[in-house]
C-alpha cells in the first residue's frame, strides 16, 4: 500500500505501518511507561507531606529518591537479560506488576524504614519497564519510522507525569496531608488494568521472537563485552552517563538554585509545571522525528549542545525575572526530554536480537547509576562555588555525551538482525 498522497507522507503512517499486532503492542508499551512515570512521580509530589509525617531530615527524604534511582539501574539491567531470555512481553508484564504492587504497598508503610525498603523494590520495576517496552516497539517498527515510533513511547513519561500532577491536586485538596500521601500511592494500582490488556492482546514480534529463541547465547552480560560489541557497550554506556548526568543535574538542582539564589517562587507553581511538562511531551515527539530525519548521532549532538546552553542561561537569569523563568521552562522541558527520544531506537540498533535487551538494559542503566552521581558532585562543590557555579558540571556531562558519540556508528535505516 502506498504511504504517500500526492507525494506527501500520510500523517501517522509510522503508526499504521506497525500492523495490528504492533499497534496493540504500542498501546501496551505506551501505557506501561506512562504509568511507570505516574508511579514514580507520586513520591516527589508527596515528599513534603511524607517528610512532615515521619519527621524526616532532608538527607532522609532525599534518600527515598536516591534509592529508587540506584535500584532502578539494577532493575533495568536485570530486565534486559529477562527480555532476551523469556521475551519482551513477559518481561513487560513482570516489571509493571512489580512497580504497581510496591507503589501501592508504600501507601501502607508504618514507618520510614519500611517506606525506604518498599520504594527500593518499586525501583526494580521502574527501571525495567522502559527496556522491555522500547525494544518491543523497536522490533515492530520499520527502520524509516523506528525513531519516532519509540519516541512516542518515550513521550508517555510526560503524559504520566501530567496525570500524577492532576491526581495529586485533587487528592491533596480533599484529604488531610497525613492521609493524602497514602491515597496517592494507592492510586498506583492503576497498572492492573494495563496488565490485563497486555496479557490478552500483546505478543512479541514473531520474526524477532524466532531469532531470539534460536540463539542459545541470548541474555548474557559477558557477551556484550566480547569482540566488536565491547567498544559499542563502553561508548553507549558513556553516552547514557553524559545525557543522564546532565538531566539529573537540572532536575535536582535547578529548582533549588532558582528559589534560593534567585528568590523565584514561580518554580513551584502550576504554570511553571505546565510549561515544563508540555515542553517535555513536545520534545519527546519532536526528537523522535528528528532522529529519523537527521540521524541518531546528529540529534543527540544537537540537543546535548542546546541543553548545555540552557544550563548556562539559567544560572545567569537576572534576579526577580519570574516571567523569564516561566517562559524558559518550555525549552528546558523540550531539550532535556528530546535528547532521550533517540535512545530506544539507537540502542536497539546497536545490538543483535539475542543481546538487544541485555545491551540496551545495561548501557542505559549504567548511565542512570553513574549519571545520578552528578547531582551529588554539584552538591559537594556548591559549598565553595555556589549552586549556580557548581551546576556547570551539568554542561560538562552533556559534553561527555557528545564525545561518546565519536566512538559509535550512525544507525539510521539499519535493519534489526
Task: For residue range 267-304, list pLDDT tens digits in order.
Answer: 555 666 777 788 889 999 999 999 999 999 999 999 99
Question: Do residue 150 and residue 90 come from a single domain?
Answer: yes
DSSP designation for 9: E
Domain boundary among 198, 230, 252: 198
The yes-or-no verdict on residue 379 having pLDDT over 50 is: yes
With 0.85 as the threshold, say if the pTM is over it: yes
The CA distance from 154 to 337, in Å, is 9
The CA distance from 41 to 57, in Å, is 20
Question: Do residue 86 and residue 225 come from a single domain?
Answer: no
In a domain, 7, yes or no: no
Domain boundary among 139, 167, 198: 198
Question: What's the domain range around 69?
Answer: 19-198
Question: Do residue 170 and residue 233 come from a single domain?
Answer: no
In a domain, 350, yes or no: yes
The yes-or-no verdict on residue 9 having pLDDT over 70 is: no
Instruction: With H, G, I as helix, E, B as strand and everything else as coil, classify residue 15.
Output: helix
In a domain, 308, yes or no: yes
Look at residues 325, 38, 55 and name the one whose alpha carbon lies nearest to residue 178. Answer: 55
The yes-or-no verdict on residue 166 having pLDDT over 80 is: yes
Question: Do residue 153 and residue 237 come from a single domain?
Answer: no
Confidence (pLDDT) at 4: 44
Question: Do residue 185 and residue 289 come from a single domain?
Answer: no
In a domain, 393, yes or no: yes
Q: Taken in order 145, 410, 287, 243, is the CA torsion positive or negative?
A: positive
Question: Do residue 50 and residue 82 come from a single domain?
Answer: yes
The yes-or-no verdict on residue 11 having pLDDT over 70 is: no
In a domain, 27, yes or no: yes
Mean pLDDT of 167-171: 91
Question: Do residue 180 and residue 281 come from a single domain?
Answer: no
Please state, as a whole number, how many other Cβ atoms lie within 10 Å of the Cβ of residue 201.
15
User: Using CB atoms within 10 A of its CB, is residue 137 exposed (0-12), middle (13-18) or buried (19+)?
Assistant: buried
Q: Which residue has the cell 497514602?
A: 182
Q: Quick one: what percent of the chain has pLDDT higher than 90?
A: 59
Domain boundary among 166, 198, 230: 198
Question: Do residue 314 and residue 234 come from a single domain?
Answer: yes
In a domain, 8, yes or no: no
In a domain, 210, yes or no: no
Looking up residue 361, the CATH number of its domain turns out to be 1.20.1250.20
Band of residue 8 on the pLDDT scale cut at 50, 70, 90: low
The yes-or-no verdict on residue 116 having pLDDT over 60 is: yes
Mean pLDDT of 77-82: 94
Please state, as a whole number, how many other Cβ atoms lie within 10 Å of the Cβ of residue 94.
20
Mean pLDDT of 154-180: 92
Question: Do residue 363 and residue 279 come from a single domain?
Answer: yes
- Taking every pair of Cα atoms in the chain, the longest distance, rounded to a whole number of angstroms, is 65
Question: Do residue 60 and residue 186 come from a single domain?
Answer: yes
Between 113 and 66, residue with greater pLDDT: 113
Task: For residue range 26-78, list pLDDT tens digits in order.
Answer: 999 999 999 999 998 898 888 889 989 999 887 788 788 888 888 998 999 99
Question: Do residue 338 and residue 274 come from a single domain?
Answer: yes
Question: Do residue 163 and residue 57 come from a single domain?
Answer: yes
The yes-or-no verdict on residue 214 having pLDDT over 70 is: yes
In a domain, 54, yes or no: yes
Q: How many CA atoms lie within 13 A of 412 on its CB side?
A: 15
- The answer to which of 32-41, 147-156, 377-386 has the lowest mean pLDDT is 377-386
Confidence (pLDDT) at 153: 94
Q: Which residue has the cell 522490533?
A: 139
Query: How many domains, in total, are found in the chain?
Result: 2
Own/partner pairs, 182-185, CB within 8 angstroms, 24+ separation: 182/107, 182/108, 183/107, 184/42, 184/45, 184/46, 184/107, 185/42, 185/46, 185/103, 185/104, 185/106, 185/107
Could you tell me how many residues make up the chain? Answer: 417
Amino acid at each position: 500500500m502506498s504511504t504517500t498522497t500526492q507525494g506527501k507522507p500520510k500523517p501517522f503512517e509510522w503508526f499504521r505501518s506497525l500492523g495490528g499486532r504492533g499497534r496493540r503492542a504500542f498501546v501496551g508499551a505506551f501505557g506501561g511507561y506512562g504509568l511507570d512515570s505516574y508511579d514514580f512521580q507520586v513520591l516527589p509530589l508527596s515528599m513534603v507531606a511524607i517528610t512532615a509525617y515521619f519527621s524526616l531530615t532532608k538527607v532522609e527524604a532525599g534518600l527515598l529518591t536516591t534509592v529508587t534511582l540506584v535500584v532502578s539501574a539494577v532493575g533495568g539491567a536485570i530486565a534486559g537479560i529477562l527480555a532476551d531470555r523469556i521475551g519482551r512481553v513477559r518481561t513487560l508484564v513482570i516489571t509493571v506488576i512489580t512497580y504497581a504492587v510496591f507503589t501501592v504497598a508504600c501507601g501502607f508503610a508504618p514507618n520510614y524504614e519500611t517506606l525506604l525498603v518498599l520504594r527500593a523494590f518499586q525501583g526494580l520495576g521502574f527501571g525495567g519497564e522502559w527496556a522491555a517496552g522500547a525494544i518491543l516497539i523497536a522490533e515492530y517498527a520499520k527502520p524509516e519510522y523506528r525513531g519516532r515510533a519509540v519516541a512516542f513511547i518515550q513521550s508517555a513519561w510526560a503524559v504520566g507525569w501530567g496525570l500524577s500532577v492532576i491526581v495529586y491536586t485533587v487528592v491533596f485538596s480533599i484529604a488531610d496531608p497525613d492521609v493524602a500521601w497514602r491515597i496517592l500511592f494507592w492510586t498506583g494500582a492503576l497498572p492492573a488494568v494495563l496488565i490485563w490488556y497486555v496479557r490478552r492482546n500483546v505478543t512479541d514480534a514473531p520474526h524477532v521472537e524466532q531469532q531470539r529463541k534460536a540463539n542459545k547465547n541470548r541474555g548474557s552480560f559477558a557477551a556484550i563485552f566480547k569482540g566488536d560489541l565491547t567498544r559499542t557497550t563502553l561508548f553507549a554506556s558513556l553516552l547514557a552517563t553524559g545525557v543522564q548526568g546532565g538531566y539529573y543535574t537540572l532536575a535536582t538542582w535547578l529548582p533549588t538554585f532558582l528559589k534560593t539564589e534567585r528568590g523565584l517562587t514561580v518554580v513551584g507553581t502550576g504554570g511553571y509545571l505546565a510549561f515544563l511538562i508540555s515542553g517535555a511531551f513536545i520534545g519527546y515527539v519532536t526528537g523522535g522525528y528528528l532522529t529519523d530525519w537527521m540521524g541518531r548521532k546528529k540529534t543527540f549532538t544537537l540537543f546535548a549542545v542546546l541543553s548545555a546552553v540552557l544550563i548556562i542561561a539559567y544560572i545567569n537569569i537576572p534576579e526577580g525575572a519570574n516571567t523569564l523563568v516561566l517562559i524558559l521552562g518550555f525549552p528546558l522541558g523540550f531539550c532535556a526530554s528530546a535528547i532521550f527520544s533517540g535512545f530506544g531506537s539507537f540502542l536497539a540498533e546497536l545490538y543483535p536480537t539475542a543481546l538487544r535487551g541485555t545491551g540496551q538494559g545495561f548501557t542505559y542503566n549504567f548511565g542512570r547509576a553513574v549519571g545520578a552521581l552528578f547531582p551529588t558532585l554539584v552538591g559537594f562543590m556548591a559549598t565553595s562555588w555556589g549552586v549556580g557555579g557548581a551546576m556547570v558540571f551539568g554542561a560538562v556531562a552533556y559534553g561527555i555525551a557528545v564525545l561518546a558519540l565519536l566512538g559509535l556508528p550512525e544507525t539510521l535505516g539499519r535493519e534489526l538482525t
